[in-house]
Chains A and B, each alone.
Chain A
Amino acid sequence: MVARKIPAPIVTVESEPFWNAARQGRFVVPACAACGKTHWYPRAVCPFCGAENIEWRAASGRGTIYSFSVMRRAKEPYAIAYVTLAEGPTMLTNIVACDFDTLRIGQSVRVAFGETENGPPVPLFRPV
């Protein structure tokens, strides 16, 4: 199966630390130093308490599939999914390196970075 080419993520001043960590193979999640909560997608202002004091916490890379859909009407079918991280928030991603017909909600997955076209790698997940 030919994997779909992943376009480079847009890197902003807010998300740059996340992508720098990704370039080093580290998966981090934003956590607020004021209220302690983790959130997704990463931003400079905590969505829960409003503090601008975000720390980047090393994540376990473990999660479970909250929902998914295999895009059939594409040159190379791919699986888009929401994965609920062990750290709390649910994030959009792709599930890779698996038989798409065996995917199910609640399945355990683990992070695996995937190359993009001329950009930093993006966090993808594969079934455990």
Chain B
Amino acid sequence: MTIKGKAYIAGAFEHPTRHAPDKSVAQLHAEVALGALADAGLRRDDVDGYFCAGDAPGPGPATMAEYLNLTKLRHVDSTELGGTSYVALAGHAAAAIALGQCDVALITLAGRPRSEGVATGTTPRLRDPNQPEAGFEFPYGLTTANGYAMCAMRHMHQYGTTSEQLAWIKVAASHHAQHNPNAMLPELVTVADVVASPLIADPLHRLDCCVISDGGGALVIVRPEIAKSLGRPAVKIIGAGETVKHLAGGAFDLTTSGAARSGPAAFAEAGVKPADIKYVSIYDSFTITVLIQLEDLGFCAKGAGGKFVSDGNLISGVGKLPFNTDGGGLCNNHPANRGGMTKVIEAVRQLRGEAHPAVQVRNCDLALAQGTGMQLGTRHCSATLIMERE
């Protein structure tokens, strides 16, 4: 069975806030849910499938289903894959629709790490003492930043990748963010700015890291017949893949991500090749995250990512592969410390022709969203979603 062509993204909404001390997390979830339904032209009572992940208050989907007063649910899914959850959940929603388990699927994400003052990336955190690896990781001061940094350090050693090459990823994101009035960092930056910014965890500088923001987003995914009745540009889901990559008992390669498995699965289902893709949303928790995923998805050879991202190749209208035209996590936002939702939303804007005119990709009929959740340097989840405009 395939999900190809069985479901359409009918509604997409990104919360404009980047700092929400005056709102609750549940309230933000509700606002993005209602925003996406309004975008689709559907009502709350049309929703019969609800999808959320670990950022939703309460365990699983029950608390938010009650808060939103969703009363027609016949399918729920709260698969937790970290920041890429929403890329994967879009595929799950398509699968549920293909199986007849629901007709109108709502996916929500929201959070306020900025208001809550969470020092997200640089403080060691003990998440769950029952995690069997905790005793062998937490004492050593493993954080988000230094975990990803070790991937970058190894990539540099193995393939000669440089800090200047990584910086080009941030530079490209800033070229896009300058056109986004909601972006946290709308200023243009140069390669020199990035490498001159303070080191956080060698070799990653401050400007190699994504922002911390409040906010959220939501998607509405529907059966083809419903999509066609709504009068919005039709964005068809044609391929999805997901996987987990981990340290495999102590024999691993930090320069490769789960995208090397989720990507080929999604391409095979969609029946398209990397060269066919007109626009990519690539999870950008750090610059190195983008480089490794681009290689693993096959946009360039393993190890050639540094050269591939250089000289503006990711800038819309300039390079061969426009990416993250909203400014991405590096410049725009990273709501709830989870960037997967906004990756899908910007891909939908591109496919609809509703991106900012300065960054809109011409004839954008095929787009890919790729996410990496949790920790690239230890255990992470990867999800790939391929979408087509009809």
Contacts and interface: CB of A to CB of B under 8 A. Distances in A.
Say whether A and B bind each other.
yes
Interface of A: 4, 6-12, 14-15, 19, 37-43, 47-48, 66-74, 78, 80-82, 88-94, 105-106, 116, 119, 122
Contacts of B362: none
Interface residues of B, number: 41
Given A15-B135, A90-B250, A71 B140 contact: no
Interface in B114-173: 122, 124, 126, 129, 132-143, 145-147, 149-154, 157
Contact of A116 (B139, B247, B248, B378): B139
Given A11-B135, A73-B122, A90-B247, 6 more contacts: A9-B134, A15-B132, A89-B250, A116-B139, A119-B139, A122-B140
Contacts, number: 126
Contacts of B247: 40-41, 90
Given A88-B250, A89-B251, A68 B140 contact: no
Contacts of A88: 250-251
A62 B141 CA distance: 22
A43 B250 contact: no
Contacts of B126: 10
Nearest to B134: A10
A40 B250 contact: yes
Considering the complex of A and B, which 5 residue pairs feature the smallest CB-CB distances, nearest first? A89-B250, A40-B250, A69-B149, A47-B249, A9-B135
Contacts of B151: 67
B252 interface: yes
A81 B139 contact: no
A104 B230 CA distance: 58
19 contacts: A15-B132, A19-B135, A41-B133, A43-B132, A47-B249, A48-B249, A67-B151, A69-B153, A69-B204, A71-B143, A72-B199, A72-B200, A80-B140, A80-B142, A80-B201, A88-B250, A90-B247, A90-B252, A92-B378
Given A39-B250, A72-B201, A122 B142 contact: no
Nearest to A87: B250
A69 B122 CA distance: 12
B187 interface: no
B198 interface: yes
B76 interface: no
A67 B122 CA distance: 18
Contacts of B124: 7
B225 interface: no
B254 interface: yes
B354 interface: no
Contacts of A37: 249
B114 to A, nearest CB: 17
B129 A71 contact: no
B250 A91 contact: yes
B157 A67 contact: yes
Nearest to A122: B139
A38 B249 CA distance: 8
* B150, B154, B249, most chain A CB atoms within 10 A: B249
B202 interface: yes
Contacts of B137: 41, 92
B112 to A, nearest CB: 22
A81 B150 contact: yes
